[in-house]
Structure 1
Amino acid sequence: MSGYMRVIMLIIKTSVLFSRCYFRHNRGVFMSLFRGFGLVGALFILSACEPPQTAPIVTTPLASDTESSRPSGEATDDATEAAIALLDTTEQVTASEDQSEASTSDESSQEASKLDPSVSYLNQQSDPAATEPNLQVLDQDIFSDTADQGNPLNSLQPKPDDGQNEIDSAIEWIFSGEAEPSQSGATSEDIAEPPFDGNVDGNAITSLIDDGFDYDSLEDVFAIISKPQIENIITSPSSRFPPKQALLTRAAVLLPLSGSYKLVGEELRKAVDMAVISLNRPQFEVIYIDTAEKPEEAAYAAVAADADIIIGPVFSSHTAAVAPIAKEHQIPVLSFSNNSAVTNQNVWIMGQQPEHEMEAVLSYAMASLAAIDQIPAEQARIAIVTNDTAYGRILRDVSINHLKTAGVTQISQLLLNRSVLKNEARLQLSIKQFARWSEEDPTPEFDMVIICGDGDFTLAVAPVLVWHDLDPAKVRFVGSSQWNRIDMITEPSLQGGLYATIPTEKRQLFEKVWKTYFADAPGDLAPLGFDAVAVASLMTADVSVNEVLLRDKGFAGFSGVFRFYPDGNNQRHLEVRQINAYKSAIVSPADTTF
């Protein structure tokens, strides 16, 4: 074959090759084009250099295509087919990789969603299915600041021209130590909490926001962290960290960064990153250590890293495992748990303790029972329906102690275990007998019903209670902060119900700030992550942990006003809310000072 004919054949085969490449729609197309260009280029050079009248030349094809040498005629045809076959193979491999990655992602998501409710509720973390990012606890159309207010977010809705300024000024006030700017027409519910004390630079937050950064993902956040002035977030897959610099406070943040609870850890890590960047304290840094496998090893890694304080872990079981190691090495622990059983003089808990929720809501409920219904405590008939779990029993015990202290003597109890809850007939019969219901006299036997359990338990028993004439229109229903969910507020059988929770206004403000950093919505634990860093960052070489944590006036953060006790427990000012007309409104605002 002449040189011209060989060139024509090469052009035809090249066209076929490019046509095949054009219709590839996965990531393998780029590699295929690269290899195709290389192969055709090599063949073209060989053809151009070939003497027209000589015998066939032996060539060596690309090593990736074949390992043997062939005569040029065969090599040319086979090499082109090999290139096309290589495109097919690359496409199949890439598609396989895509399917594998998708499968891995699905498995990871399924694994992360298998949270144990009995553990989760003790540690401020409900079932992920109930706390999907799209089903937020704080919904602008459902929550309102007052029962009489027409617009739920009147006090927080930004004006069209100064919405960002509202966020900036609010953040600057909280962490700068300055007084909050007064607002015209402010009510008692608009009075904000006192700021954090200490040398916290709130201007760092507003400067980042004013620079116009749009934080859509952690990659964007880490791009900011890479700037010279923010070098105080350290990550290490092997938990081996550089030596701590002099006069620097290092916080080891212990989170489940892998495994079933990875989603919880990622949420808190975002909150911690946001706090470190926002506060911008050069003398304070954080390191991340994974607690997914063995929390004890995470504690020893914190010791080896010369940490001054441990922030975390999330769960009470992990906190209990870390506590003795931290105490031995004199490292204070600021845990995200809300289980008072793990506290001591070296372990403080950040979580919203269920004991305080019940005390707050029962104080209001008993006062309103006496003032509105003219039923004094000694005449009040109280029913307590309890889920037979650790969380339910904690709520029950606190309720009984509070009621007895208030002078209540008529207390009836019903304990429901898992087997009863799974059997609808048994559940109906148990509640019917407990309510003492009869067709002849449907008058309620109780003035108040306290439901001690999580949200799912409440949704299971509340409709049955109403069916047997324990109607919220006639009986006061009382519950925990688990009722601060959309599915609870829109539940017909809970209309009129009372519960206590952290100030909603602060939570809504936190969500606004969060969205200036991230595209998704924050979970329930995120404000605790931010506030934990804000507290820990007040520690310096000259200020001990006791001086920071045990301040009588406490702290005002995104999770509300709180302070710590020497025994490791905390105290929080909570607001009491009532469910009415499928909305939640404040009936007793949280105190702003201690």
Structure 2
Amino acid sequence: MPGRAALAAALSACLLVGGCQTTTSLPSWMNGGKSESAPPAQPAPAKTATLPAPATTPPQGVPQPAPAPVAPQPAMTATGELLPTTLSTDPAADPTAVRIALLAPLSGPSAATGQSLLNAAQLALFDAGNSAVTLKPYDTKGTPDGAATAATAALNDGAVLVLGPLFASSVTAVTPTLKAAHVRALAFSTDPQVASPGVYVSGILASEQARRVVAHARAQGITRFAALSPEGAFGRSMVAAYEQAVIASGGTLVKTLFHAPGEDLQTKLRAFTDFDTRAATLAAQKKALEGKTDPASLEAMARLQTQDATGPLPFEALLMTASGTPLKEELAVLSVFNADGRSVRLMGPMLWNDPALLRDPGLSRAWFPAVPQASFKAFSQRYQQAFNEQPSVLSALGYDLTALAAVLARQSGGRAYVDSVLTQSGGFAGANGLFRFRPDGGNERALVMMENTANGPVVAGEAVSSFTAADAAKPAF
């Protein structure tokens, strides 16, 4: 299509040049939709005039030692926050001109993911229309060593903010170099273990997903939870987040089960669901109805004949972490013990937002979190028009972080990328919805709750519209 080709060409022209639009208007979704102006970073303190010291004349003929070199002092904001050492000191330079580095795997096994992040970043720069911002991509090759090399190259080129890298090991590799230069990083990782002040992870964290699903369940009166997960780092992390959210909300986690490949899952789930006790309850109810011929008893017996067990499960909601084939295996065994989505409320991670997966009848009525649909749909349409492919939630991180960088640079240039500005309490609104960075390097997000129905997933709980409302309703943990 000519329109798509023209837009793609224009986006390519933006790269390494800056924002292409001349308009001064900003994307309406930034800064919570409340203002078109980025919050200004604090200006550097004015230098205090110092009177010159009286001149002294050294004694004739006595050699004087060379003056000791004076180490340069890092520039600071008025509130004492260290500014990037890569900021230009040329008094004739445009103070709003900034260089932003995008660190992503542009080669190797994850090259397609890296390219989608770069595509979205170019689109954001085009939309933001800030011609003073220059974006340059650096290939991390998907490895820690590649990321470290890319970070050094970016600093040598004068980058005052780094977007990326993607993988947790790469974030760890670049952290010392960036911190030494006081250059902040907005990484794409979902691992809170690599976050720290000045190195912010923007991926949607397990803790945020768990907090959202548990809060929704508690609002519906559910108090008793159980957790089921395959063994693995993600499963362990997600179950820990579930447990923390349940406890903080006043609920009870009554059971937790991890299972490894090759283990007898049927035996484990039989005990986990209290199947034998429930089967004995069923047998007792059938025996009590034997010989009765009244209509009510006959109807009850007919209903019991279709069941393998009866009576309540030991939990009202089952928090799960698996997706894909492992989830399908769990659902198949749960159905044998009358404990799938038709008997208990199943709750899972954002990975469940997969049309093929949601067709499984075992996921009937299942709940899972997602990014707000309207904002992501608008981004998705723009992305498809430019690049002729469907973006992911991860791609949208590339858009959101680049747009945020462009907006913050409008008033204060590279001086805007300090912790007090990046962690402002009101947060920012982007393609993936409302988000904000925490001082410890983590992030918080406003997610919607989806419920799987016979006609596909529908919104069961809206995302909060501001972090003021979220803070009021959120348990502290």
The TM-score normalised by the length of structure 2 is 0.70
Counterpart code for 2:5: Y
Please tell me whether residue 416 in structure 1 is matched to residue 259 in structure 2.
yes
The partner residue of 2:138 within 283, 286, 289 is 289
Structure 2 unaligned residues grouped into runs of 5+:
23-92, 277-307, 468-477
For structure 1, which runs of at least 5 residues remain unmatched after alignment?
Answer: 1-211, 233-243, 371-379, 421-425
1:100 is matched with which residue? none
Alpha-carbon displacement from aligned partner over 1:1-59 (angstroms, at most 9, x marks no partner)? xxxxxxxxxxxxxxxxxxxxxxxxxxxxxxxxxxxxxxxxxxxxxxxxxxxxxxxxxxx
Provide Cα deviations, 1:504-556, integer angstroms capped at 9, x if missing partner. 12111111111231212212311111000011123434534234312221111
Q: Which amino acid aligns with 2:232?
A: T
How many residues matched? 358
CA contact 2:230–2:321 (8 Å) conserved in 1: yes
The structure richer in helix per residue is 1
**1:492–1:383 Cα change, 3 Å:** same
Question: Could you tell me which of 199, 215, 229 is aligned with 2:5?
Answer: 215
Rg (Cα) greater in structure: 1
2:261 is the counterpart of 1:471:
no
What is the SS of the residue equivalent to 1:250? strand
- Aligned counterparts, 1:76-155, within 5 A: none
Match in the other structure for 1:343: 195
Distance 1:407 1:319, change over 3 A: same
* SS of structure 1 residue aligned to 2:176: helix
Q: Secondary structure at the match of 1:288?
A: strand
Structure 1 match to 2:129: 280
SS in 1 for 2:404: helix
1:526 paired residue number: 395
CA offset digits 1:292-337 (Å, max 9, x no partner): 1621111111111111000000111111111111101111000001
Question: d(CA) in 2 for partners of 1:457 and 1:355?
Answer: 22
Taking structure 1 as reference, are residues 464 and 382 closer, same or farther at Cα in structure 2, changes over 3 Å only? same
Q: Which residue of 2 aligns with 1:74?
A: none
What is residue 496 of structure 1 aligned with on the other side? Answer: 365
Counterpart residue type for residue 505 of structure 1: A
The residue identity in structure 1 corresponding to 2:200 is W
Aligned residue type for 2:339: L
Paired residues of 2:16 and 2:135 also in contact (CA < 8 A): no
Segments ≥4 residues shifted beyond 4 Å = 216-220, 223-229, 244-247, 439-443
* CA distance in 2 between partners of 1:283 and 1:228 (Å): 6
- Give the residue type in structure 1 aligned to 2:343: K
Shift of 1:275: 1.0
Q: 1:393 aligns with which of 236, 243, 246?
A: 236
SS at match of 2:258: strand
1:214–1:517 contact (8 Å) kept in structure 2? yes
8 Å CA contact 2:18–2:133 kept in 1: the answer is no
Using the TM superposition, give the Cα deviation of residue 227 of structure 1 relative to its aligned residue in structure 2, in angstroms: 9.1
* Matches of 2:20 and 2:416, distance apart in 1: 23
Given the alignment, which residue of 449, 454, 459 partners 1:581? 454
Q: Distance in 1 between matches of 2:13 and 2:248?
A: 55
The 3-state SS of whatever aligns with 2:238 is: helix
CA contact (8 A) 1:491 1:582 kept: no
Partners of 1:227 and 1:252 in 2: CA distance: 13
CA distance, structure 2, for counterparts of residue 229 and residue 315 of structure 1: 27
Matched, 1:403 2:246: yes
What TM-score, normalized by structure 1, do the two folds share? 0.57
Q: Is the 8 A contact 2:179 2:198 kept in 1?
A: yes
SS at match of 2:387: coil
| Cα distance in 2 for residues equivalent to 1:229 and 1:367 | 45
Considering only aligned residues, what root-mean-square deviation do their CA atoms show, in Å? 2.5
List aligned pairs for 1:228-377, cutoff 5 A: 230=20, 247-292=96-141, 294-370=146-222
- C-alpha distance after superposition, 1:208-227 (max 9, x if no partner): xxxx8423785563257699
* 1:513 equivalenced with 2:386 (yes/no): no
The verdict on how the C-alpha distance between 1:269 and 1:228 changes in structure 2, with shifts beyond 3 A counting, is closer
Shift of 1:407: 3.2
* 8 Å Cα contact 2:230-2:326 kept in structure 1: yes
1:398 to partner: Cα distance: 1.5
Distance 2:154 2:173 in 1: 13
Q: 1:409 to 1:590 in 2, by over 3 A?
A: closer
Measured against aligned partners, the alpha-carbon deviations of 1:468-504 in whole angstroms (never above 9, x if no partner) come to 1103232111111111111222121001011112111
Shift of 1:245: 7.1
User: Alpha-carbon deviation of 1:410?
Assistant: 5.4
Once residues 544 and 224 of structure 1 are traced to their aligned partners in structure 2, the CA distance between those partners, rounded to angstroms, is 22
Which one of 423, 426, 429 corresponds to residue 553 of structure 1? 426
Q: Is the 8 A contact 1:539 1:545 kept in 2?
A: no
CA contact (8 A) 1:444 1:469 kept: no
Identity of aligned residues (%): 25
Amino acid at match of 2:269: I
Separation of aligned partners in 1, 2:232 and 2:442: 22
Question: In structure 1, which of residues 367, 375, 384 is the aligned counterpart of residue 227 of structure 2?
Answer: 384
CA separation of 1:428/1:229 partners in 2, compared to 1, >3 Å: closer, same or farther? closer
Structure 1 residue 460: deviation in Å? Answer: 2.5
Distance 1:225 1:471, change over 3 A: closer
